[in-house]
Structure 1
Amino acid sequence: MRQCFISAGLFGARHVQLMLMFGATISSFGMRAVLNVAIVAIISPHTREDAEFATYPEWSEKKNIILSSFFWGYICFQVFASQLAKNLGVKVIFAIAMSIASIFTILVPFFGEELGYGGVMACRVIQGAGQGFLLPCLHTLLSNWAPIAERAKFGGLVYAGQALGTVVAMPVTGAIADTRLGWPVSFYLYGGLGIVWVLCWIAFGHNTPADDKNISTAERKWIEYGLVQEDDVGQKHPTPWKSIFTSVPFYAILAAHCGQNWGFWTLLTETPTYMEKILKFSITKNSLLCALPYFVCWALNLVMSPIADMLIDKRYVSLIVSRKIFNSIGFFVPALALVGMTFVGSSNSQLAVGILVIAVGFNAGQFSGFNLNHIDISPTYAGTLISLTNTCGTAFSICAPLSVDLVKALTGYEEDQEELWKFIFYIAAGFYLITGIIFNLLASGDVQPWDKSDPTTKARRSIQKKMSVISVKYD
């Protein structure tokens, strides 16, 4: 027997998987966000005489329906995706799903030209169906690859790709849309990047540490210690649906996910229009300023995630207290900022942008909050839990942009009137506030009794929460 000390900070096979998961999130959210900026150029009349692309001003009345169409496909396969990932493994399923999403991103300009806005919507529905596998696959991979002592850091880094993908997509799309080649090139670019990621995933991705032939025995033991028993790796358990649907902590996560999706997608889909109609920014400046809040979100996430791990590791607070602290930052600060947005507008565009930066930037707290709580309460069924909460959350993502049309119909206000946006911001703030309170009241950090992990494994988890360096014996 040899004695080996493994530091959680060393670079190893788990970090290769971390980079692949991070890349999947970046490319996926780049593909999602590209239309939110491109739609401004798509529905605007030509401003260049040398333009080599078409625009469709007649689609302007269909803008919010087009933007919501991604989620029509996205909502359909969440639970199905989680079951496939759990029973068949992530690798092949993830590659196929991302390939579909990437190909239909590339096809958006062609379908738009041939079939009109219905063609664009068809592409976005299919793209959404492919990306419906993203979160179930990522949560399954995180539950397989992320040791508890690194969970917030790993989860934070992986999901930081949401903000970074948006940060990159918005200004790049705006810059491309302002050239003679125009908005279609942005879809070719992000679809192509998705294909590149698929090739990297096929070459280097693995379902579990046990599947990776290049991982050291020491690192494998470090990862599996406290996650599942070594003789239980690869075993499959039936999903305890009844127990899940009667679990109060599950509903705490569900509420938080719905509130997060409403607020996040309200801002992501409508900010470009707000900046164009109210703040009067050009598409190039619009896209740069829209990206700024998501850059701050990405940067703050890199700060908050290790702090969350440190608080748990040093036992300054319990795991669930840490989750609630950071989720409160991620929900309540944006809620206050959105209320603040109702007091500013075209008269002070710089202040309006600054408040948007606060609203989106501090939302980074949720990456170390409810977003990891699925794994906390059930590592075995984390993929299933995220698929369930994300299915409901996606319904709110669909409603968020459509709510703008509803408010317009009920109030008579148009997108170039500040009164409309006050309603939109108040509604989003309300969702953040109410669902954040529900999470704080009902959430748990304990592995639930219906999780299939045995008491020995649960005890290992408890020990590992307190450790950043462990000693492992192996033959």
Structure 2
Amino acid sequence: MVLNGRTSSLSELKAPTFGWRHLQCLMICIGLTAAFAMRVNMSVAVVAMMDNKAANPDFPEYHWSEKTKARVLSSFFSGYVFTQVPGGILARRFGGKVPLLCSFTISSILAILTPLGVSIGGWKLLCFMRFLQGFGQGVTTPSIHTLIAKWSPVEERSSLGTYCYSGIQLGTVTILASSGVLASSSLGWPSLFYIPGGVGLLWAVAWIIWGANSPSECRNISAAERTLIEESLKCSVEQEERKSKLSTPWRKIFTSAPFLVILLAHCANSWCFWTLLTQIPSYMKSVLGKDIKSNALLSALPYLTMFLLGLALCPIAKYLEKNNYLSATMSRKLFNTIGLWVPAVTLIGLGYITREQADLAVILLTLTVGINSAVHFGFQVNHIDLTPNFAGTLVGLTNGISHVVSAMAPLLVGYVVTDTKNPDQWRIIFFVAAFISFAGNLLFILFGTTKVQPWNDEQVVQTHEMKPLRETNVEPNHAKNQSVL
């Protein structure tokens, strides 16, 4: 590379401490915060909508059965699954910026219109609007994974990916913690839809200005940071264009054992995560006897713990991998085991909790959800390990199929928990989630890997494990890859 008339090696270039790759992660994190607030708000809003006298009697109250409530809660996932795979294909072909922009914009508009929709068409129109909202958000994860694959150096992949996805917990915490106050305020439960929808629209404007598909498309990135990323990923503009034209090896993907175990681990995690996320407010109210304000704060506590633990584990995971204390494969399996097997144990304990042990129930719920943040260093980034070229497509497949499973979770609660105050019925729900969580991680331990698969690139004939940039031999001057900046 030639800088100001002289040749410079990669080692002579110093990337900024906070660069454009970090700004992209920050923007994605904020966008996910708003998106998940729009996704989770129904879990708490439906409690206020069905028992509004306890919150704000100035707004309408709806008398729905538990089965109807279950349909409302699962309708988002029913739409979410349809755009996962198309979202991955679009993100790989055209980049992740525009699909992510469209996703959050559509979801924000629908969130703002939700109170009007339910007043006009009741629960049926509400389900349809939630279906459309899920349909719009279906491209979110494939787009984000595609962006992470383009923007993160190999040895920063776990940490930058976790920073991006920490928006999930941040959005969940924000909406759950504020729901009691908002539902009881003069704005009432409609504010649970108006506020995150408005934030999402503001984010869309900022994303248009600062978002970018890759370092090569970012005009403001420094030469040092672009070189750091591209040398680590061994990519260039020409290579990116060539990779975007590769045909998706569908048959090889669906016959790949490493991919299939990611899929099963993802399904297991989604079942456990969404069972708790959609049902904790109801469980707090019915079994533990918490009012809507204390319910909101206690429901948010597990996700606040998850957010903080995720950030705390980032430097630990990076340190272990960067200093070769753990191979990438062992690191993925270790953190995935922590994230899925510890919750399996605590869910079984949760099944035996009574109303008199409310404090212990809160502790177990907090531990169950909080420790689950470790999966961000497990199967969550394993898609990129297996195939950087098709990471968006892979995550679209696993996310789509896993959310079919997620849609079944609240439906199962609706059919099993006919008496919401009966802890024995809730025990069945917790035991099912524990078994699924245990089985999903067991298969990941047995068959999971971080080796790049042969079908990642038509030119690759052997599997190999991606190594951090510092471990590769990079010659100071690449005559064939020189460019004038």
* TM-score range for the pair, normalised by the shorter chain length: over 0.9
2:301 corresponding residue in structure 1:
292
Residues 214-363 of structure 1: pairs in structure 2 closer than 5 A: 214-230=220-236, 231-235=238-242, 236=244, 237-363=246-372
Q: Give deviations 1:215-267, integer Å, cap 9, x for gaps.
A: 11221111111324323122221111111111100001000000000000000
Aligned in 2, Cα 1:38/1:195: closer, same or farther, shift over 3 Å?
same
1:407 corresponding residue in structure 2:
416
1:46 corresponding residue in structure 2:
53
Counterpart contact for 1:226–1:457, Cα < 8 Å: no
Q: CA–CA distance in 2 between the matches of 1:426 and 1:9?
A: 48
Residues 101-250 of structure 1: pairs in structure 2 closer than 5 A: 101-230=107-236, 231-235=238-242, 236=244, 237-250=246-259
Aligned in 2, Cα 1:248/1:120: closer, same or farther, shift over 3 Å?
same
Q: Give deviations 1:191-230, integer Å, cap 9, x for gaps.
A: 1111111111111100111100111122111111132432
Aligned in 2, Cα 1:7/1:59: closer, same or farther, shift over 3 Å?
farther
1:445 aligned residue (447, 450, 459): 450
2:375 corresponding residue in structure 1:
366
Counterpart contact for 1:218–1:472, Cα < 8 Å: no
Counterpart contact for 2:45–2:179, Cα < 8 Å: yes
1:433 corresponding residue in structure 2:
438
Q: Give deviations 1:281-332, integer Å, cap 9, x for gaps.
A: 0111001000000000011101112211211110011101000000000000
Q: CA–CA distance in 2 between the matches of 1:9 and 1:470?
A: 22
Residues 26-37 of structure 1: pairs in structure 2 closer than 5 A: 26-37=33-44
Over the matched positions of the two proteins, sequence identity in percent amounts to 38
Counterpart contact for 1:30–1:166, Cα < 8 Å: yes
Aligned in 2, Cα 1:203/1:456: closer, same or farther, shift over 3 Å?
farther
2:71 aligned residue (61, 65, 90): 65
Over the aligned positions, Cα root-mean-square deviation in angstroms equals 2.1
Q: Give deviations 1:64-102, integer Å, cap 9, x for gaps.
A: 110000011101111111111111222222212211111
Aligned in 2, Cα 1:466/1:353: closer, same or farther, shift over 3 Å?
farther
Counterpart contact for 2:413–2:429, Cα < 8 Å: yes
Aligned in 2, Cα 1:214/1:425: closer, same or farther, shift over 3 Å?
same
1:95 corresponding residue in structure 2:
101
Name the SS for the 1:57 alignment partner.
coil
Tell me the TM-score normalised to structure 1 length. Answer: 0.94
Counterpart contact for 1:149–1:466, Cα < 8 Å: no
Q: Give deviations 1:146-172, integer Å, cap 9, x for gaps.
A: 111101100111111111110001021
Counterpart contact for 2:169–2:304, Cα < 8 Å: yes
What runs of 5+ residues in structure 1 fail to find an aligned partner? none
The residue type paired with residue 176 of structure 1 is L
Matched, 1:382 2:391: yes
1:406 is displaced (CA, Å) by: 2.6
Q: CA–CA distance in 1 between the matches of 2:176 and 2:230?
A: 39
Q: CA–CA distance in 2 between the matches of 1:263 and 1:249?
A: 22
1:424 corresponding residue in structure 2:
429
Q: CA–CA distance in 2 between the matches of 1:71 and 1:313?
A: 37
Q: Give deviations 1:332-362, integer Å, cap 9, x for gaps.
A: 0111110111222201100100000000000
Tell me the TM-score normalised to structure 2 length. Answer: 0.92
Aligned in 2, Cα 1:457/1:281: closer, same or farther, shift over 3 Å?
same
What runs of 5+ residues in structure 2 fail to find an aligned partner? 1-6
User: May I ask how many residue pairs the two structures share in their alignment?
Assistant: 469
Aligned in 2, Cα 1:250/1:349: closer, same or farther, shift over 3 Å?
same
